[in-house]
Amino acid sequence: MSGGGHNLSFSPAFTLAEVLITLGIIGIVAALTIPSLTANHRKKVLGSKLKKFYSIMSQAVIMSEAEQGASVSEWDTFSSNYNVDEMEQWFNKYLKDYLNIIKQEKKERFLYVALSDGTGFRIFNHMTSVEQIHLYFCTDYSKCSNLPDGKYVFTFRFINNKFATYMEGTTMNLEQMTSPSLSSSCSKETVKANREAHFCSTLLQKNNWEVPDYYPIKL
């Protein structure tokens, strides 16, 4: 048709150079944001696991006290420190029935307990009284042999006739609990020196089981 038609020409929407530039920008943005998103996810998962463990153990103690008709202060004691056979008997009597356990085993001085959610703990009597029964909670059962490191393993214990974080109720402030000069502080120096970072559980408890930005242990 002549006279009334229009000649239309089209150019590519994007040139190859523009596409490459756009992809480069997307890659840079992803590189900047993904590590932050991953770190935040790890923090939320860690806080959630600690909060859950503290809750189920506290409830187990309460139910056992009701069933036994005796408070923690009246529960059986031990004939010697680090007595794993008596520890197993004690655990079976007072706590086992109230936890979802998939495996239980004795290794050297410790009783290892694997829970159904993939976490677990090792428990031992640091002294002959119930007051110094320690539990090293591991967010991944495969890490349960590790020392408390504020990343995979955290310290809990029985103290003041209750299940608690290592220094629950302490008046120590953040600076004191994370001070490298404290042998069991929640600090990277403690972990690097292959010492037990006992204070990390209490630090996170004080922050409502949320991992703060200032948390000294890299997750």
Buried-exposed string 87-101: b where 16+ CB fall within 10 A, e elsewhere: bbebbeebbeebbee
**Domain range summary for the chain, segments of one domain joined by +:** 37-206
Q: pLDDT class for 1, splitting at 50, 70, 90?
A: very low
pLDDT on residue 7: 55
Q: Which of 62, 63, 43 is nearest to 51 (CA)?
A: 43
Q: What Rg do the C-alpha atoms of the chain give, in angstroms?
A: 26
The secondary structure of 133-180 as a DSSP string is EEEEEESSGGGTTSPP-SSSEEEEEEETTEEEETTTT----HHHHT-T
Q: pLDDT (tens digit, 9 = 90+) per residue, 88-106? A: 999 999 999 999 999 999 9
Cα 19 → chain centroid: 44
Q: Among 71, 207, 53, 20, which residue's Cα sits nearest to residue 136?
A: 53
Task: Categorize the per-residue pLDDT at 219 as very low, low, confident or very high, splitting at 50, 70 and 90.
Answer: confident
Q: By mean pLDDT, which of 23-27, 120-124, 179-183 is the weakest? A: 23-27
Q: What angle do CA 56, 217, 121 make, to 5 degrees?
A: 30
DSSP state string for 50-104: HHHHHHHHHHHHHHHHHHHTS-GGGS---SSTT-HHHHHHHHHHHTGGGS-EEEE
